[in-house]
Amino acid sequence: MEPPPSLVLANVQLPEGRRADITIRDGRVVHAGAGGVADQRIDCTGLFVLPAAVDVHVHMRGGIQSAKEDWKTGSASALAGGVTVVVDQPNTVPPLTTPDAFLARVREAQEHSSCSFAINSGVTPDTPVGAMWAAGAMAFGEIFFAPSSYGEALDTAELSRALGRIRALGGLATIHAEGIAPGEDTGLAVHDALRSPERERDAVIAVQAGNPDGCRLHFCHMSTAAAVEVAHGTVEVTPHHLFLSREKISDTDCRFKVNPPIRSENERKKLRAQWNRIDIVASDHAPHTTEEKALPFPRAPSGMPGVETMVPLLMADVLDRKITLPDLIRKTATVPAALIGIPPSGFAPGDRADFALYPRSAVTVEPDILHSKCGWTPFEGHRAIFPKLVILGGTVVYREGEFFRAHPTWYPGKGYIPPSDQRVVPDLVRSQHETLKSPHNR
């Protein structure tokens, strides 16, 4: 006889309004209706039950950048914010531009992460993208079309060549589209002017013009309505561009230095008005230490933490009826999972049983309720609703400040060839590698 299901989430109010018990077995939803006997039963009366979020843009740091964040603290921060899958960005030190560096990164995450993860490949003119694809890269990028912290930019010709190669593999290119005017960034207003909204829009146009073969494009952290309007790929925005504007911040406060910059209140409102065109909200979680953020403005690194506050800030907007719950679920869970091609989390039989349970009242964000190693947040004082309980693969991994043993999954991309099979198909991997290294292809 089959053993009983592992978990029943009882009295769940589904986003479309119906009430149901959600029965879970082996990490998947098996039934939505009346729940029977199970090893564990959680009454969800009075709670918002959400499919857990997939954050497609995080910088988990680790390695020699572990003072900022590491997989242990970063993944705890993700889980405590209702995020069970993160996509790690490759501008690590060293960058993820060789299969060996990539596989070392996978091992580091497998050892220390308590949330599920995918890892992207970096892209330089020399990156063997075919070998990175075979090693398990989920996507390519963020590809820098303007330099940023720990990111060197490709020029138009280099980018165009890289997009042609990624297209040939059937991969997804994720783009950091910005343009920079010369000058010293002495404060937030100057930073905004140097990396202006017009330059962001022009960068999107230039990237698209350099993509004649039609590589699938995803535009990361778009900060202006004008750029969103001209984008033909999927559009990602961050909570910091949705919730923060520079007039409300001291001009020299380096904590708010980020690329693309925090814009004016007028730009923020125009971006918000694009809500229906925005496909994905992702955090661009990019922690730096308070010491680094205390440096003089031109020398301080760009970036801010955000994986733990992303869904909670949006949940406060749901409570205030500024956005709808189905929209929030679409932009933080359903569409991100579809973009990277992993099973959706949700309430239907077969869905991945990753959930976050939220109370119906907001609290004020304070740094000491958060779990990122960097120890600060740009959203101090904002209203947010944090999850009481988070489920990963059908198992409770977080409950009211306490973490429990998790069994996270590594999601390799579509080109993954397991190491054992690479010996069987070495010619494929080698030929991709060598074609891409040939000087004629630079």
CB 264 within 8 A of CB 246: yes
**What minimum distance in Å lies between the beta carbon of 50 and ligand DOR?**
27
Q: Is 303 in the site for ligand DOR (CB under 6 A)?
A: yes
User: Parallel, antiparallel, or unpaired for β 19-25 and 28-33?
Assistant: antiparallel
Question: Toward ligand DOR, which CB reaches closer, 142 or 354?
Answer: 142
Question: Toward ligand DOR, which CB reaches closer, 136 or 378?
Answer: 378
State the DSSP H helix or E strand holding residue 7, giving kind and residue range, or none if neither: strand 7-13
**What minimum distance in Å lies between the beta carbon of 341 and ligand DOR?**
23
> Between residue 89 and residue 118, which ones bind ligand DOR under the rule CB under 6 A?
91
CB 218 within 8 A of CB 173: yes
**Which among 200-208, 300-308, 318-326, 396-404 is the span making contact with ligand DOR, rule CB under 6 A?**
300-308
CB 252 within 8 A of CB 28: no
**Which among 186-194, 298-306, 354-362, 391-399 is the span making contact with ligand DOR, rule CB under 6 A?**
298-306
**Which among 25-33, 161-169, 235-243, 295-303 is the span making contact with ligand DOR, rule CB under 6 A?**
295-303
> Between residue 31 and residue 90, which ones bind ligand DOR under the rule CB under 6 A?
59
Mask 250-289, x = binds ligand DOR (CB under 6 A)?
--------xx--------------------------x---
**What minimum distance in Å lies between the beta carbon of 378 and ligand DOR?**
11
Selecting among 284, 317, 351, 354, the annotated active-site residue is 284
Q: Which residue has the tokens 């949330």?
A: 115
Q: Report residue 253 as tokens.
A: 């406060």
Instruction: Give CA–CA dist 39/45, Å, rounded.
Output: 19
**What minimum distance in Å lies between the beta carbon of 175 and ligand DOR?**
11
DSSP state of 274: T
**What minimum distance in Å lies between the beta carbon of 198 and ligand DOR?**
19
User: Parallel, antiparallel, or unpaired for β 172-176 and 216-219?
Assistant: parallel
Q: Is 302 in the site for ligand DOR (CB under 6 A)?
A: yes
CB 74 within 8 A of CB 307: yes
Q: Which residue's C-beta sits nearest to ligand DOR?
A: 303
Mask 139-178, x = binds ligand DOR (CB under 6 A)?
---------xxxx------------------------x--
| Residue 284 designated active-site | yes
**What minimum distance in Å lies between the beta carbon of 95 and ligand DOR?**
11
Single-letter amino acid, residue 204: V
Region of residue 86 (left: phi > 0; alpha: psi -120 to 50; beta: else): beta
Question: Toward ligand DOR, which CB reaches closer, 220 or 385?
Answer: 220
- Please count the CA atoms within 13 angstroms of the CA of 129 that sit on its side-chain side: 26
Helix intervals (H) in 254-302: 265-272, 290-293
Q: Is the dihedral of CA 54, 59, 64, 67 positive or negative?
A: negative
Q: Is 196 in the site for ligand DOR (CB under 6 A)?
A: no
Please report, as ranges, the residues that interact with ligand DOR according to CB under 6 A: 59, 91, 148-151, 176, 258-259, 286, 301-303
Residues with active-site annotation:
284
